[in-house]
Amino acid sequence: MFDKPNHNVIISAADLARGQRFGDIQWDSHGKTLAWLQKKGADAVIVVREFDTNKYLYSQIPCGGAGVNYGGGDFTIAHRQVLTVCDNELWSTGLLDGERVLVAESDGMIASPTVSSDGRYVAYVVSGRDTDEIVVSQLIGSGASVVVSNDYEFYMQPSWHKSGEYMACVGWNSPEMPWDGSELQLICIDSDKNGLRQSNKVVLAGSKDIAVFQPIFSPDGRWVAYVSDVTGWGELYLYDIYNSESRQLTSTASEHARPAWGQGMRTMAWSVNSEAIYALRNENAVIRLWKYGIDGTGSEVIWDSNYTDITAIDICPNEDTVAFLASGSKIPASIVTLELNSSNDVEVIARGQDFSISDSKLSSPKSVQWKGNDEAIVYGLYYPPMIEASGLPPGIIMVHGGPTGQSTASFDPKVQFFTSRGYAVLEVNYRGSTGYGRDYMLEMRGEWGRIDRDDLISAAHFLVEEQLVDPNRIVAMGGSAGGATVLLALVHSNDLFAAGVCSYPVTDMIGLTQDTHRFERHYCHNLIGAYPVDKDIYRQRSAILYADQITEPIIIFHGSDDKVVPIEQSIGVVKSLRERDVPHEFHVFDGEGHGWRKEDTITKYFTAVEQFLDKHVKNVDN
């Protein structure tokens, strides 16, 4: 047991609930105003900072939010206007007068607005029932909106050339997801006094087997920069508009993109003089800022090394000052600006959570790897407990969702919550995770529900063999796809785990293909197989059909309004647990969807998990 069980507990459930979340961050086109998306509970606003006066102007600009895929692409700022999305509407709010005007309304959901350099037009994604489009509307004048591309089922990341004569975007078709295979499309635009129209379209890069990400034009108009994984890693490429040639800019065996679960994602930005690209480089789950010259040179930007994860980036158009959303294992998510000069001055504009906690009381990750049950290498991040124990500590293995995703060295309140209570935590990046090259991601092709399950089980054996945890007190914890992994591991692990924690778990793979949203409707095609041809495999990977083999204590959470993984996926498992008197709890959070937003929900979640694990794991004698 623990020698000091309570006095070092430093983060409460209420502390976690009081935090705010950040989304995209962008500079205005005139270079003096910074705007970002800020969420608290179910409410979202665009916060604006005017650097000339150091004041927040119209900081409560409402933002209903974009509902395309998993969200994102909620706003843009240009020419002292903030354009915000509210489902199928696009609104403009003037920063000088506060006037709010409806710009466009669509039958489909709107996302990722981007304004032309002359301020006349705004392009955006419209997502309908069966397909997406890239649409352009006028901001100056009253011409009709124009569809400039509808060649793909899905679109993201539209970007304007400075002349307004070109637009670039990423498109893809099912059953591929954007990280499986997508194409970079260059759209040629003609305009006259009556408006604009698309005149030609060309695919510059990508295919059904090659993924591309974030096309962005250089300020001087010569280049389109983008990320492609054609080499097996997400490397930077340049397309020369003048010479119609592409060339690889980096060769690093590292990742410069992230899986595009949402709209509006950015991992790179051009320098003001168009001579370099500042990009986020992911190596071993640590994300740093790098500068790559168009001449092929490259070096890391040295600033505060305590920031080990960056998720969004933009550069001031007037001077090389970068703004980004960053965090570290001991630093909550923060809006940060960095002057890219000899001083490298850093200013923290806002923090997601304000903990008055000494660094010495927070746990830092160690990158680890081990051999899975078939001798393949598996990666993870290990966090030691922050309370001394008289013996080996209990352990929690956390499984990320997706399943295409990655746990990085970011600030994770959930990790710190449990390490401050004496748990060792291992975040497992099972085969199929991103961040370790395309081949590692493709290991999951046809294997979802098996390979991730096996890697979770081998993670537990690794912790025991390294004498990092008490072998009788190991917890498996995950949500969504990670919840599926947890349940299947409990079925196949022969009492290896002392308990399980599942949030909105996928339990019925067949039901998922029929009931989920359009974005993921064909996700399982590559991860499991073609349905109904491979129906038997779907059944083998569906935990709901094997729930009667789960005997370990388990706590399950689900939102009543979950549209991604309907609550019925949990109910079937809970019914089996109840009928067999397996120790369990089932918590339904009214008004919540696929994840928790409300402060009250977050508080109840962490409180319930802590009490459940105290009873069934932490305070149980060996």
Show the tokens assigned to 333.
């998510």
What is the band of 97 on the pLDDT scale with cuts at 50, 70, 90? confident
Mean pLDDT of 73-98: 93
Helix axes 481-492, 451-465, angle to 10 degrees: 70
Show the tokens assigned to 516.
């989920």
- The per-residue pLDDT for range 191-228, each reduced to its tens digit, is 877 778 888 999 999 999 999 999 999 999 999 999 99
Give 90-98's long-range contacts (Cβ < 8 A, gap of 24+). Answer: 90/122, 90/124, 90/137, 92/139, 93/58, 93/61, 95/28, 95/33, 95/48, 95/50, 95/57, 95/58, 98/58
Please, what is the end-to-end C-alpha distance for the chain in angstroms? 9
Residue 288 corresponds to which amino acid?
R
What is the band of 57 on the pLDDT scale with cuts at 50, 70, 90? low
Q: Is the pLDDT of residue 592 over 70?
A: yes
Pairing of strands 424-429, 377-383: antiparallel
The pLDDT > 90 percentage for the chain reads 79
For every residue of 514-565, DSSP letters joined together read HHS-GGGTTHHHHHT--TTTTHHHHHHT-GGGGGGG--S-EEEEEETT-SSS
For every residue of 31-64, DSSP letters joined together read SSEEEEEEEETTEEEEEEEETTTTEESSTTEE--
- The per-residue pLDDT for range 118-157, each reduced to its tens digit, is 999 999 999 998 999 999 999 987 788 999 999 999 999 9
Domains of the chain: which residue ranges?
A: 64-351, 357-507+547-618
Phi-psi region of 65 (alpha: psi -120 to 50; beta: other; left: phi over 0): left
Give the pLDDT of residue 5: 44
Q: Any idea which residue has 């990790």 for tokens? A: 415
Instruction: Give the residue from 370, 365, 394 showing the smallest Cα distance to 459.
Output: 370
Q: Is the pLDDT of residue 598 over 50?
A: yes
Structural contact between residues 301 and 311, judged by C-beta atoms closer than 8 angstroms? no
Question: Whole-angstrom Cα distance, residue 173 to residue 169?
Answer: 14
Give domain 357-507+547-618's CATH superfamily: Alpha/Beta hydrolase fold, catalytic domain (3.40.50.1820)
Q: How many CA atoms lie within 13 A of 544 on its CB side?
A: 19
Burial class (CB in 10 A: 0-12, 13-18, 19+), 202: exposed
64-351: which CATH architecture?
6 Propeller (2.120)
Residue 591 burial (CB count, 10 A) = 11
Show the tokens assigned to 373.
């049950």
Show the tokens assigned to 229.
């994984």
Question: Whole-angstrom Cα distance, residue 370 to residue 377?
Answer: 6
Q: Any idea which residue has 């063999």 for tokens? A: 465
Question: Whole-angstrom Cα distance, residue 397 to residue 478?
Answer: 8
- The per-residue pLDDT for range 301-360, each reduced to its tens digit, is 999 999 999 999 999 998 879 999 999 999 999 999 999 877 778 999 999 887 667 778
Residue 376 corresponds to which amino acid?
A
DSSP state of 360: G
Give the pLDDT of residue 580: 96
Q: Look at the pTM and tell me if it is higher than 0.85.
A: yes
Question: Whole-angstrom Cα distance, residue 478 to residue 46?
Answer: 31
Structural contact between residues 249 and 235, judged by C-beta atoms closer than 8 angstroms? yes
Question: Whole-angstrom Cα distance, residue 366 to residue 350?
Answer: 27
Q: Is the pLDDT of residue 46 over 70?
A: yes
